Chains A and B, each alone.
Chain A
Amino acid sequence: MGSVADDPFIRVRGLRKVYRKGDREFLAISDASFAVAAGELVALVGPSGCGKTTLLKILAGLQSYDSGEVQIGSAAHSFDPSRDIGMVFQQALLLKWRRVLQNVMLPAEILGLPTRESRERAHGLLAMVGLSGFEDKYPYELSGGMQQRAAIARALIHDPKLILMDEPFGALDALTREKMNLELLNIWKKSGKTIIFVTHGIAEAVFLGTRVVVLTAGPARMADNIEIRLPEPRTLDVKTSEAFGDYSRRIYQLLGFG
């Protein structure tokens, strides 16, 4: 994990995005700047309507922006926008008509990767996310948490350098969510990917992130960029530590709580 200062993998500077609806303008992001080193797990936290999702879509190349600079890739870590992005959404969005294995293979098919190798990879990834034996099930035969794990495997199938996650566990119940957080840390450690994780859960952001970028709504702006130094590997014990409380409190304050 290189330090951010030397050779950032993602560099966002003075990013501004305005939505226009007729004559009216909505400021979605004003002047966001942050950098992410390769292999970091950065949490973007903020209330609904603060532009987190917009920021993620801009990083994915799905949306334009009005001014500023977004640069992904560095000398040490090249980046090909067509095949180095994996996405996970709040809904698993598995294709109902495909079995789990074929769902995981979708990005590989679109990118035209060799079938046999990607099938082997898909088996490996499903084992990693704990879905061995479910390859031939249809999505409706899986629980919500299992569907989301399959979606994570799908995001990893083409071995992208950057994983963008938009509230991936937001639709799950609290306990499943805790479990998925631990598993995500595990997957992140094993895969060594750079992950950007959008959430409105402050505890979730502090627990997962090596860095938390705090965005506020009304007016939408970037409030802070906090490096989280908590003992590794992170276990549930971390959540009861004093440092964890301090980070959380600081983010609550930035978001206007007390």
Chain B
Amino acid sequence: MAGETVRRYGLAILAHLALIVVWYLVVTYRHVPAFIMPSPFATVATLGGTNYDWIGNTLVTASEIFGGYFLAVAVGVVIAIAFSWSSTAEAAVMPLLVSLNMIPKVALGPLFIVWFSYGIFPNTIIAFSISFFPILLNTARGFREVEPELLELVRSLRSSKWQTFVKIQLPSALPYIFSGMKVGAVLAVAGAIVGEFLGSSRGLGYLMLQVQVTLDTAAMFMAVILITLIGVVLYGMVIGVERLVIVRDARIQ
């Protein structure tokens, strides 16, 4: 068991390192110009530059991603719970949400800027709007797919609505909630960056547009890497909590 874990992690880390090595070799031996593709070292070296405020911009982007994401988790799960309590609410609101979800969220960006002005808030809202729906959809499905006979079993004991929810419905739905949260985590990152592209004065997405003008490709690479790392941290957190909370057998792969 332990050997298997070491093997799996070892291979995963090796694959990541191999990609960096290939990147280095291609850039160095094929003589790719730095404005097309900088080397890994040149990319990391941009962190030393004082004029880019890496920490500040990273914090801005991270707060948009995390803020929008956790808002989406909270709102998505709460609405799904409401649906599980009232089928009328679900029948009325779900089709509306499906229609709203068809709106390309990116297209709302300019509107959000009009409504909420530039800054962290509209970008947080874009991250929220794009990651909210898969979380809601998966959670709602989790509540729907509770074994009906399990509900009968506790009903034969005259369990209260609250007991049924806490002991049966919520734990049954949890694997689905995490499944939705994993999809949502990826989308939240994309949402926040798109928001920054559309209009903002801070953040890694904004920084990318700035350095694009000066053809500082290494800084663009670094920005992409930092955005990815924020996503990896978020995703890792979700998976970590999932492992703590959900028995292996019940996880949705």
Residues of A within 8 A of B (CB): 57, 60-62, 81-83, 85, 87, 89, 91, 93, 95-97, 106-107, 109-111, 138-140, 158, 164
Contact = CB atoms under 8 A, between A and B. Distances in A.
Contacts of A91: 147, 149
A85 B163 CA distance: 18
Interface of B: 147, 149-150, 152-159, 163, 167-168, 171, 174, 246-250
Given A83-B157, A109-B163, 13 more contacts: A57-B152, A62-B155, A62-B156, A87-B153, A93-B147, A96-B249, A96-B250, A97-B174, A97-B250, A106-B154, A139-B249, A140-B247, A158-B157
B250 A106 contact: no
Most buried by B among A61, A83, A91, A110: A110
B151 to A, nearest CB: 10
Contacts of B156: 60-62, 85, 87, 164
Contacts of A140: 247-249
B157 A107 contact: yes
Most buried by A among B154, B156, B249: B156
Nearest to B158: A82
A44 to B, nearest CB: 17
Contacts of A93: 147, 149-150, 153
A93 B247 CA distance: 16
Contacts of A81: 158
21 contacts: A62-B152, A62-B155, A81-B158, A82-B157, A87-B152, A91-B149, A93-B150, A93-B153, A95-B150, A95-B167, A97-B171, A97-B174, A97-B246, A106-B167, A109-B163, A109-B167, A110-B157, A110-B159, A138-B248, A139-B249, A158-B157
Contacts of A139: 249
Contacts of B157: 82-83, 85, 107, 110-111, 158
A81 B157 CA distance: 8
Nearest to B171: A97
Contacts of B154: 106, 110
9 A-B pairs closest in CB distance: A140-B249, A82-B158, A96-B250, A110-B159, A60-B156, A110-B157, A97-B247, A89-B149, A85-B156
Given A97-B171, A139-B249, A140-B249, A60 B158 contact: no
Contacts of A110: 154, 157, 159, 163, 167
A167 to B, nearest CB: 11
A258 B206 CA distance: 84
